[in-house]
Structure 1
Amino acid sequence: MEKYNIKLDNSTKKYLQIYNYIKNLIIEKELKEHEKLPPIRRLSQTIGVNNTTIVKVYELLENEGYVYKTIGSGTFVSRLKSNKEDPNTEFKNEDIIHFDSGNPSTEMFPIEDFKNAVNMAISKEDKAIFEYDEGLGCDELREKIVEYLKTTKVKTTKDNIQIISGAQQGIDIVCKGLINYSDVVFLEEPTYNGAIQVFKSRGAKIISIPMLDDGIDIGILKLKLEKIKPKLIYTMPNFQNPTGISYSTYKKKKLIELAEKYDFYILEDDFISDFSFESNDNRPLKSYDDKNRVIYIKSFSKIFMPGLRIGIVEIPNELLKKILWAKYSSDISTPGLIQKSMYYYMEFFNWNDYIKVVEKIYTEKYILAKKLIKERLSDRLKVRKANGGINFFLELPRGYSSKDFTDFMLSKGVALLPGTYFFDNLVDDRFFRINIAKASIQDLEKGISIISDNLDEFLENYKNQLNLKSNKLFY
């Protein structure tokens, strides 16, 4: 661990200093190709930062192509490719169509209006905007979010809302506040990998419950609950990542009923239930919570500018102190400039009109992608039934590896995410995800056509050539 003895200073944010340090180790080949990076907890202890900081560092390194994750094994150094003069250029291929990224297209961002909101915040708040806010967050912003949540049928007060630096931090602080070593956590299967990694980092025992077309398998969930008592169940009830599945109203209500009966909490991760798409019920699970069992995370990263890293966690009264402490121990507070700027934007720059524009863009892309996938791919691949959102989950025939498939399609100019990313334990790796958030209408048409036009070649040449390391993730 000697090579990771990083001396941090106050020149910039800690995670950026650590990111640049490790990136330089990779570029200078002090970390070799496929060398394993330290586990999150061990590295955080060595450097003297919290786990969330290292999670953010590894995510940034992964997004930039310097590392890859192997589910269940850890994080490893990627192979640097051809351009010896500038190692950074290999990760900037403008010809690749990205169906792997969950970030929205930058064309949606209201840059000019937000610049004005930032200027208003600095002008009106002056020096106070750069002080620590050691409480739940900016009062005015929490009040605006309470107003906005009413439009989704979620009733709360500003005193139950904690401002957070994105959904990933929300999962982390809830986990830090509630989960102890060997506590049981139930997860949907498949589900968001970031949540899997956070629960594992706390030493939780993970039990996966399969997803059906109308939500989690209630029958299997009940069988598990008869034998095992979870502390928490993590769920995305609307337009789930990666499947796009939404819970039926019955299952939303039933899950709350079971939480009360078996005495556990539900951690709801809501990233895009703001829009209805083709769903008959896109209400958050929290809107049905008459038992005070739902801890509700609302992320704005898929509907606003993800780089702002802002969201909220709505907390039942009895858990407020624990989660507030966990947030404080993570980073004291979300930056005041970000909070105040978000408030001024929501207050003075037609937030509701902006949301309608984003809904129109996403809905058009979803409808087109669904049509293209049905017409071009569904005769050869299984497609999970979805009724909205930004993700489509597809399945190759038996005898094929999704890692082989995603590598093959990347060579044809389309980046996809293998299904291994979304399972705690996966025996048969045949799944992959198409994410439409970043792609333009033209990219959707072109990218799905490329997949379709090259699919037969893959099916003919790659059967039963399973890659035993198919859970490596390259970007």
Structure 2
Amino acid sequence: MDKYFLKFSHGIPKYVAISNHIKRLIDNNEIKDGEKLPPIRKLAEFLEVNNITIVHTYNVLKDEGYAVQKIGSGTYAKRKDSFKSFRREYSNTIKKVSSGDFKKYIDFTGESPCSDFFPVNSFKDVLNEVLDRDGVDALSYQEALGYAGLRKSISKVFWNDEVDIDDILIISGAQQGIDIISKALINTNDSVLVEMPTYSGALSVFKWRRANICEIPVGFQGININKFEKILRKNNIKCFYTMSYFQNPTGISYSRQKKEQILRLADIYDFYIIEDDYLSELIYDKNIEYATFKSLDRNDRVIYIKSFSKIFLPGIRIGYLIPPKKFKESIQNSKVNTDISTSSLMQRALDLYITKGLWKEYIDKLNKIYSKKYLFMKEVLTKYLYDKVSFIVPGGGLHFYVKINDRFNINSIQLFRRAKNKNVLIMPGTIFYKESVNGLKYFKLGFSQIDKKNIENGIKIIGNLIENYRVCK
């Protein structure tokens, strides 16, 4: 308690003096990030002030982002640079990597297939064929829903003609899909339930809409259905955002049984499921069944989003969305108000690419390449980090989500900075949380854009850095 002692000055309210003192202690790391602050009565007695003064103090700390209150547990310190400042630092680093400034780095932050595997020549042939076939029409705006040929191909190839083409809306990637759904459905203070952790882009959109964001933890088996229903009972949830396969970042996939349970609850508690079908093309474990929420939906409760950008090529910004009948018009209007039309040429090219069977060939090729990389990544993680971390074995996708064991006194932000100094880049878990210290022990490792030699070298470096912080050697 001695560190909380201070002498009060005349003219400065005591709660202001105490809050400023505690902020300095937090900034100087004398109060650790996530450390529990003294109970109100105990600190009031120590500083010889009344309880209400400490109540005001803690309210100031919470309002200024230096503390967080956990109901029934107490008030905990939160270093501001652990979150907002670090997010800026991380974002700036990734921008430099994207611009080519960090070519010397072993980059585990990549989230898309390596462009080296993209079939440039065959796609160029398809583009030329589209231009020869359609002429100037290939460059003009199409109907608001998107190019009819592509919507027809999507319905036939991916949905066995079970989805009407007029129910398919072409979009410019999953991020735009989340954005236009939010504009159409979510108003200020509407409650949106998200997995914890989850995709940071979705969190940004929901925050921008000023939604009330509720979180439910994701474990090795996905969300806990009993906890899920408790949240539904206490809150008027409008939408539940989920990634059904190889969830970003945890890598978990929902079983068919759990999907059916969630769909049943959606009907009972009157909420809608925003399904972001992420990287489900890359299933390596044959025990994982492909059955989306949308394919199991019997009560029109699912808003389905699929992006071709992640799996195909990020520069080709195309995806599609299937809304429930109830929101079809409002979501389509939201899309039109956002950008009128997604690239006509790219839509036509993708349509031809799919109908020629080239899409299936490409996905089969990626599965062969990445299943080998996935197994190698799993092997080196086990070999070099076996006593330092635990991780979910996703069975597909392009990344692993790793937790640093408690006997090592280092968090993922510190590991990010130290690894960066060794020319290795990782993705700290804090990026995927609304506002929580829970992500400090986690980090994500993508393997899509690194060769096997650098995967092994990078994991060795990470292992050595963590080892330096073993509490009991």
TM-score norm. by structure 1 comes to 0.76
User: Secondary structure at 1:307's aligned position in 2?
Assistant: coil
Alignment partner, residue 436 of structure 2:
426
Alignment partner, residue 113 of structure 1:
122
2:93 aligned with 1:99, yes or no? no
Q: Deviations over 1:390-418 (max 9, x none)?
A: 12111123442211101111112211001
Alignment partner, residue 207 of structure 1:
214
User: Secondary structure at 1:122's aligned position in 2?
Assistant: helix
Rounded to whole Å, the distance in 1 between the matches of 2:416 and 2:387 is 19
Answer whether contact 1:101 1:435 (CA < 8 A) is retained.
yes
User: Secondary structure at 1:245's aligned position in 2?
Assistant: coil
Alignment partner, residue 370 of structure 1:
378
Query: How far off is 1:284 after superposition?
Result: 1.7
Give the alignment partner of residue 276 of structure 2, picking from 269, 273, 279.
269
Query: How far off is 1:225 after superposition?
Result: 0.6
Answer whether contact 1:186 1:234 (CA < 8 A) is retained.
yes
2:335 aligned with 1:327, yes or no? yes
Alignment partner, residue 240 of structure 1:
247
Query: How far off is 1:317 after superposition?
Result: 1.6
- Give the RMSD, CA atoms, in angstroms: 2.6
User: Secondary structure at 2:192's aligned position in 1?
Assistant: strand
Structure 2: 5+ residue stretches without partners: 1-80
Superposition pairs of residues 242-261 of structure 1, within 5 angstroms: 242-261=249-268
Alignment partner, residue 189 of structure 2:
182
Query: How far off is 1:291 after superposition?
Result: 1.5
TM-score norm. by structure 2 comes to 0.77
User: Secondary structure at 1:231's aligned position in 2?
Assistant: strand
Query: How far off is 1:188 after superposition?
Result: 0.4
Alignment partner, residue 368 of structure 2:
360
CA 1:179–1:72 in 2, change beyond 3 Å: closer, same or farther?
farther
Query: How far off is 1:74 after superposition?
Result: 9.9
Letter in 2 for 1:314: I
Alignment partner, residue 462 of structure 2:
451
Query: How far off is 1:449 after superposition?
Result: 2.4
Alignment partner, residue 281 of structure 1:
289
Query: How far off is 1:156 after superposition?
Result: 1.4
Alignment partner, residue 347 of structure 2:
339
Deviating beyond 3 angstroms after TM superposition, the runs of 4 or more aligned structure 1 residues are 69-81, 87-91, 458-461
Bigger RCO (CA 8 Å, 6+ sep): 1
Rounded to whole Å, the distance in 1 between the matches of 2:320 and 2:250 is 24
Alignment partner, residue 297 of structure 1:
305
CA 1:412–1:266 in 2, change beyond 3 Å: closer, same or farther?
same
CA 1:308–1:227 in 2, change beyond 3 Å: closer, same or farther?
same
User: Secondary structure at 1:432's aligned position in 2?
Assistant: strand
Of structures 1 and 2, the larger Rg is shown by 2
Rounded to whole Å, the distance in 2 between the matches of 1:72 and 1:256 is 35
CA 1:155–1:411 in 2, change beyond 3 Å: closer, same or farther?
farther
Rounded to whole Å, the distance in 1 between the matches of 2:396 and 2:295 is 19
Rounded to whole Å, the distance in 2 between the matches of 1:407 and 1:326 is 41
Residue range with higher mean Cα deviation, 437-446 or 115-124: 437-446
Alignment partner, residue 136 of structure 1:
145
Letter in 2 for 1:412: K
Residue range with higher mean Cα deviation, 162-171 or 348-357: 348-357
Rounded to whole Å, the distance in 2 between the matches of 1:443 and 1:150 is 39
Answer whether contact 1:215 1:237 (CA < 8 A) is retained.
no
Letter in 1 for 2:323: I
CA 1:194–1:89 in 2, change beyond 3 Å: closer, same or farther?
closer
Alignment partner, residue 173 of structure 2:
166
Q: Deviations over 1:322-375 (max 9, x none)?
A: 110110111001010111111122223522111111111221111211122122
Structure 1: 5+ residue stretches without partners: 1-68, 82-86, 464-475
User: Secondary structure at 2:257's aligned position in 1?
Assistant: helix
CA 1:88–1:447 in 2, change beyond 3 Å: closer, same or farther?
closer
Identity value in percent: 36
Rounded to whole Å, the distance in 2 between the matches of 1:343 and 1:440 is 31
Letter in 2 for 1:452: G
Query: How far off is 1:267 after superposition?
Result: 0.3
